[in-house]
Amino acid sequence: MKRIVLCCSAGMSTSLVVTKMEKIAAERGLDLKIYAIAEQALRDELDSHSGEIIAVLLGPQVRFKLAENKKLTDQYAIPVDVIDPVAYGTLNGAKVLDQALNLVR
């Protein structure tokens, strides 16, 4: 199963976005595992599931860590970006899902 990982400060604030993304993915018939983790746990997550992770999105609150995490994800050839702040703030799961999928295309 392919995975999309969202990273935030403590791995909890993105849970509502994840729920919305999962709903949209199911409606579209996409077989994806979408979940949130603390940004500090990304290295371990990549070590454990790098073959399954297709994209990593950072919550806007940790956008200052983009360059650092890009160096890390580049080692696994996995794209990373910061979640669009408006989509994040409005819990627009479709837009965030599309953002992740567009990283892969």
Residues designated catalytic? 8
CA distance 50 to 93: 23
- Are residues 37 and 11 in contact, defined by beta-carbon separation less than 8 angstroms? yes
Residues 6+ apart with CB under 8 A from 1: 31, 32, 33, 52
Residues 6+ apart with CB under 8 A from 82: 57, 58, 59, 60, 63, 66
- Are residues 59 and 7 in contact, defined by beta-carbon separation less than 8 angstroms? yes
